[in-house]
Structure 1
Amino acid sequence: MDGRGIVDLGIQNFEQLRERDAFYVDKTNFIKDWWDNGATATLITRPRRFGKTLNLSMLECFFSNKYADRGDMFQGLSIWNEKKFRSHQGAYPVIFLSFAKIKSTDYAGMEYAITKIIFDIYEQNRYLLEGDVLSDREKQYYESIVPGMEKKIVVDAINALTNFVSRYHNNRVIILLDEYDTPMQEAWLSGYWNEATDFFRGFFNATFKSNPYMLKGLITGITRISKESIFSDLNNLEVLTTTSNKFAPYFGFTESEVFQALDDMGFSEEKQGVKKWYDGFTFGNIADVYNPWSISSFIGNGAVYKSYWADTSSNGLVNRLIRESSADIKKDFEWLLNGKTIIIPIDEQMIYDQLGKDENALWSLLLAGGYLKVVSIDNSHIGDSLEDEKYELALTNHEVRRMFAKMIRGWFNGRSKSGYNEFIKALLEDNIKKMNAFMNRIALETFSSFDSGKRPSQDAEPERFYHGFVLGMVVDLSDRYRIRSNRESGYGRYDVMLEPFDKKDKAFIFEFKVLDKVENELSLEETVANALAQIETKKYEAELVADGILPENIKKYGFAFEGKKCLIG
């Protein structure tokens, strides 16, 4: 731990942080471990705000010859105790790029943004044009690096700059690339994925593989994009995800580091509260990892509990994918929100063009993004099976749970959660008229927003809505009710059951049905009657009665759907 008095949120520049003597958890042993690591090029993936940018800035300040004779930045830190490493400080040329701000809605905008980043780096190194290290033709090429340059020039531009820098300094170059996958995510969201992957495949190959002037390279991002998409030529790339042991202690705060910080800042009594809210991330074999942004914000705000990390992004991609997901995904989320775990086969390689098609791709994204944590991994079947490893997953912590609760409320009322409470109030008062008015209004809005553009069938829309509805019930009633769906009771499987923790309160059973003209249902009223009859015939109330709920306190409702119309009875 270093720096006691100032908590500077958002500073990702190591030099600034050290000059301000700000709150800093010492991660400088990463310098030694990365340098001693045998890989030429390494990709490290971590969720957002876990210190990726700060660690790259730390590497730049340590190795870059721009910071020669600046060992003072590292005095008092663990790396400075490694005396043999002091000779590496300020000894190498370093090229540091960041794609964090590339969020273009079309391919042309993305490519232009990259040309501007490369142009800026060339401008920072114009000293290369002095003297005769570069030939006249190379100097002419150097001047051709401008915003909007042709794609064939862009792809090789960093490779060429590495050549020039290496010859000028008579030393090979360290290349650092931060947030490599930000433009890829935007490409998928905006519909130019294929063009983007074609560009980056050539760019990454030229920069990190076909580059004899590179000494070591480090890439960071949130997701591990599949090798086939953009890294197909990089057989020298070591990939370290959140389940890898290597470098696990250097991204995020360990529990001992967090508790030490709380002691130092005078918040020792908050340890258990902080653990409940912010603990839960697991990297490799290290459990109880905390998000630095949440801990720094908590301390900086005088020990106020809030959803700091979860609220630093719109979470738009995750929101969209879950909202438009299948009924099975929504049932799994209901399970997770109830504090349970799910077991899913996971391939940590993100195949973005499978999002929306392959359900496991969504779980891979949520795991990489930090929304889920690994409870255990079962690979005992790998030798005899073609399946991926099976991961036992849970929501990461209380902060993430609150984020999803807020997200789900937004599905039902974009302005506030009061609209959803309107339905809860009507339900608890047995006011079927108000329940019907609410459900028809929300069903109309929700079915439209769940439409992914591929027009799910009329049958699928109510099914999607019903599971979104179940999630909403979990959010607003989970403090009073145990919410279950699609579970066995009596002689069948009910759709939704709300069992009160207080046995004196009302219990509820819901059965959802789509009007089925094949079964000669001619109206929603007939469909409701069939739903209620099924509740009785299958004796769904048996589970509740066995748990001590009086039969007269069990309320049964049939929900009938036809397109965007709903009737409750």
Structure 2
Amino acid sequence: MKTKFNEYLTKLRKSRVYTQAQMAEKLGISRSTYTNYENGNRTPDFEVLERISEVLACSLDELFGRKPTYVASCDVVKEDSMLYNVSGIQEEKPKLAIGVQDFRDLREKQAYYVDKTQFIEQFLESWYQITLITRPRRFGKTLNMSMLAEFLDCTKDSSDLFCGTKITKSVHYKELNRYPVVFLSFLNVKAGDADSLCYALKDTVRAEYERFYQMVNDGRLSEFQVKEFNMIYNSLCQESIGKEIENYVIRSIAVLCQALSTYYGEKVFLLLDEYDTPFMSANSEGYYDEVRAMLNRFLATSLKGNDYLQKAILTGIQRIAKENIFSGLNNLVVCTVQDEDYDDCFGFTEQEVKELLAYCKAEFSDELKKMYDGYHFGSTDVYNPWSISCYAARRRMDSYWVNTSENSILRNALEVQGRSFEKEYEALITEGEVEVTVDFSMAYYEKMDEANLWGLLVNAGIVTITKEIEEDYYRLRVPNLEVWKVFKELTACHLKIDERHMEKMLNALKRKDMERFAEEYQRVLLELPSYHDLKDENSYHMMTLGMCAFLRKDYDIKSNRETGEGRSDICLYAKHDRYPNLILEFKYTKDEKDDLEKLAEKALEQIKGKQYDAEMTGEVCYVGLAHYGKRSCIRWRENG
């Protein structure tokens, strides 16, 4: 036939939301026969054509494109919005599938999808056999790895899932479903003790063995390969954990790759998602030294000297030192957040954000940018996709992104690191940015120094690079207001005070409930662990400034800046009319006989006399704070 029957058949099937397998079953023919219809390799006879028109509820004319008025274009993912949208008949608009990390599940749900299939093309075009990509949590790593596995895996038919996406226009689309794939996600390989973690790893590998179990009795593998496969599989099914079982786990992926390559006649693609989760879990729970050697050997055996490996890709938050598991991998490339490789594949660009919000009829605003923007990967500015999706669904600008494992590492670091790190940390939370040495070459838990800790914070998305000043020396800042919530908790931990009391104190200050503010401020002082930390006026100033940093959503914060006829301690410029401008001036005495009330009044006189409010408009509240050790007295006035 000279008509494009196969194309119209495909479009009509998709508009009715049938899979090829479902169509074959409804028509009473084999899946391969139906697939050949859509590929254009075969044409059905008249009786089958009649059955097709009945199943699809269309006329024969429509099957041959003579009346295609309601048939959708094959571009089911729109070029502009990247929306997976089967149209052609009036249906409910696809919804967001928030939290779905499996590509097939997402596509079969007909959910809204931001097209990141350029990830597949960039990976296949890479010259490197083994690639490690580091990105923060909830930036799409697992979904992208699931997508890559669906595309490559020769045991699947994924053509329906990719219809209309960017990859279909690539020369690499011919690679669809051509290779054996081993796909392991370590997202849930975490536990409170070493044995439980090893069991979780064993269970993850066992599930992948079960996926290929049918091949062992097919006759294509040698007797030795079948015996070795079964030996490892049986060990993975054991409830116990011991040295012998551990050794089988270590060899499991290398053995599986050999079996798959022999069976399918192609080398294997190995995909390891969130590969560093076990390392981070072990570190935070205190048993890292117990499992480090086993985890390193497992990864090294899977990646080094594996003759049956076509390509491998790993994702995680940070890299493990090359001197450990990656030693000898001369073909390894590590793509961190400052590299341009894959820079637009994780996170949402601003254009993608605008399209998603427009689709959901949610507003894009400067306030939203300040809340969720600010990440910089390579040469691309990106938004947090998890937070944007949650905002689009709920229409509420909350903090949705939390990284508990990274927070625990930073909390520990604040206790372990010396005064130099504390100074850098204080500069970050008070000024909003800091210039520091950053080391991306290894994980923080392998070398617990300040440069590696800053590297962890960059890769984890807690801070972002604004400028590379020189090699290994960067200017960093907190990316957005959402992440400031993480720092509020960490600052309370750093000061060793109750976060709730700090929150109450700041809320009272915003509301001009000065008696409550004075009460909570005194409570905070009493909570501080050491009297000797409060040794001068600057001690109280910096402590309060650190806490006031978390008013950034509602205030512009200035400290020690020239205003009026002098230098004010802390000026808080309200961003909204509902809050007052605030000026805080600190006084300190070493003499317990001094009258703190008079000292606080002196601070108020200084604010007024030197006109610290010269640049403020609207309501202003002047606050004088006087101190002796952990005792305080606060006085306040309002302009007018």
Structure 2 unmatched ranges of 5 or more: 1-81, 86-93, 635-640
The alpha carbon displacement at 1:72 in A equals: 1.7
The match for 2:19 is none
Whole-angstrom CA distance in 2 between matches of 1:542 and 1:321:
43
Aligned 1:44-443 pairs, distance under 5 A: 44-67=133-156, 69-82=157-170, 84-130=171-217, 131=219, 132-135=221-224, 137-138=227-228, 139-147=230-238, 148=241, 150=243, 151-267=246-362, 269-287=363-381, 289-301=382-394, 303-308=395-400, 310-311=401-402, 316-317=407-408, 320-321=411-412, 324=415, 326=419, 327-336=422-431, 340-353=432-445, 358-379=449-470, 382=471, 388=472, 390-405=473-488, 408=491, 412-415=497-500, 419-421=504-506, 424=509, 429=514, 438-439=520-521, 441-443=523-525
8 Å CA contact 2:484, 2:550 repeated in 1: no
8 Å CA contact 1:115, 1:149 repeated in 2: no
Whole-angstrom CA distance in 1 between matches of 2:263 and 2:112:
38
Q: 1:473 aligned to 2:554?
A: no
Q: Report the secondary structure of 1:238's partner residue.
A: strand
The alpha carbon displacement at 1:329 in A equals: 3.7
Number of aligned residue pairs: give it. Answer: 522
Whole-angstrom CA distance in 2 between matches of 1:81 and 1:35:
14
Deviates more, 1:416-425 or 1:258-267: 416-425
- Alpha carbons of 1:181 and 1:559: their partners in 2 closer, same or farther (altered >3 Å)? farther
Higher relative contact order (CA 8 A, sep 6+): 1
The match for 1:19 is 108
| CA RMSD in angstroms, aligned pairs only | 4.1
TM-score of the two chains, using structure 1 as the length reference: 0.78
1:167-214: CA deviation from partner (whole Å, max 9, x where unpaired): 222221111001111111122212222233322221221111121111
The alpha carbon displacement at 1:111 in A equals: 1.6
The match for 1:517 is none
1:217-258: CA deviation from partner (whole Å, max 9, x where unpaired): 010011223333543343332100111101111111111222
Structure 1 unmatched ranges of 5 or more: 383-387, 448-456, 514-520
Whole-angstrom CA distance in 2 between matches of 1:548 and 1:217:
62
TM-score of the two chains, using structure 2 as the length reference: 0.70
8 Å CA contact 1:329, 1:359 repeated in 2: no
- Alpha carbons of 1:75 and 1:478: their partners in 2 closer, same or farther (altered >3 Å)? closer
Select 2:570's aligned residue among 478, 494, 497.
497
The alpha carbon displacement at 1:276 in A equals: 3.4
Select 2:584's aligned residue among 502, 508, 511.
508
Whole-angstrom CA distance in 2 between matches of 1:159 and 1:465:
59
Whole-angstrom CA distance in 2 between matches of 1:331 and 1:51:
31
- Alpha carbons of 1:225 and 1:525: their partners in 2 closer, same or farther (altered >3 Å)? farther
The amino acid of 1:261's aligned partner reads L
Whole-angstrom CA distance in 2 between matches of 1:80 and 1:262:
26
8 Å CA contact 1:330, 1:471 repeated in 2: no
1:492-534: CA deviation from partner (whole Å, max 9, x where unpaired): 999x5346679x9774322568xxxxxxx7x8668989x99x9
The match for 1:450 is none
1:359-403: CA deviation from partner (whole Å, max 9, x where unpaired): 333322221111222212122xx4xxxxx2x21222212322345
Q: Report the secondary structure of 1:344's partner residue.
A: strand
8 Å CA contact 2:84, 2:110 repeated in 1: yes
8 Å CA contact 1:14, 1:58 repeated in 2: yes
1:77-96: CA deviation from partner (whole Å, max 9, x where unpaired): 111122x4333111111111
Q: Report the secondary structure of 2:344's partner residue.
A: helix
Whole-angstrom CA distance in 2 between matches of 1:261 and 1:422:
34
The amino acid of 1:559's aligned partner reads H
The alpha carbon displacement at 1:39 in A equals: 0.5
Whole-angstrom CA distance in 2 between matches of 1:360 and 1:527:
46
Whole-angstrom CA distance in 2 between matches of 1:328 and 1:164:
55
1:298-356: CA deviation from partner (whole Å, max 9, x where unpaired): 2223x332222x257586426625764654144223334xxx4322221123432378x
The match for 1:454 is none
The amino acid of 1:61's aligned partner reads E
- Alpha carbons of 1:425 and 1:149: their partners in 2 closer, same or farther (altered >3 Å)? same
The alpha carbon displacement at 1:558 in A equals: 4.3
Whole-angstrom CA distance in 2 between matches of 1:512 and 1:311:
38
Q: Report the secondary structure of 1:248's partner residue.
A: coil
The alpha carbon displacement at 1:8 in A equals: 0.6
Taking only the aligned residue pairs, the percentage that are identical comes to: 30
Deviates more, 1:153-162 or 1:327-336: 327-336
Whole-angstrom CA distance in 2 between matches of 1:19 and 1:41:
31
Q: Report the secondary structure of 2:323's partner residue.
A: helix
Whole-angstrom CA distance in 1 between matches of 2:542 and 2:272:
41
8 Å CA contact 1:155, 1:199 repeated in 2: yes
The match for 1:41 is 130
Q: Report the secondary structure of 1:215's partner residue.
A: strand
The match for 2:83 is 2
Whole-angstrom CA distance in 1 between matches of 2:546 and 2:204:
43
The amino acid of 1:191's aligned partner reads G
The alpha carbon displacement at 1:568 in A equals: 5.5
The match for 2:61 is none
The alpha carbon displacement at 1:290 in A equals: 1.4
The match for 1:484 is 559
Whole-angstrom CA distance in 1 between matches of 2:545 and 2:97:
41
Q: Report the secondary structure of 1:118's partner residue.
A: helix
Q: Report the secondary structure of 2:236's partner residue.
A: coil
8 Å CA contact 1:524, 1:560 repeated in 2: yes
- Alpha carbons of 1:346 and 1:79: their partners in 2 closer, same or farther (altered >3 Å)? same
- Alpha carbons of 1:262 and 1:480: their partners in 2 closer, same or farther (altered >3 Å)? closer
The alpha carbon displacement at 1:535 in A equals: 9.2
Larger Rg: 2
The alpha carbon displacement at 1:286 in A equals: 1.2
The alpha carbon displacement at 1:478 in A equals: 7.7
- Alpha carbons of 1:438 and 1:73: their partners in 2 closer, same or farther (altered >3 Å)? closer
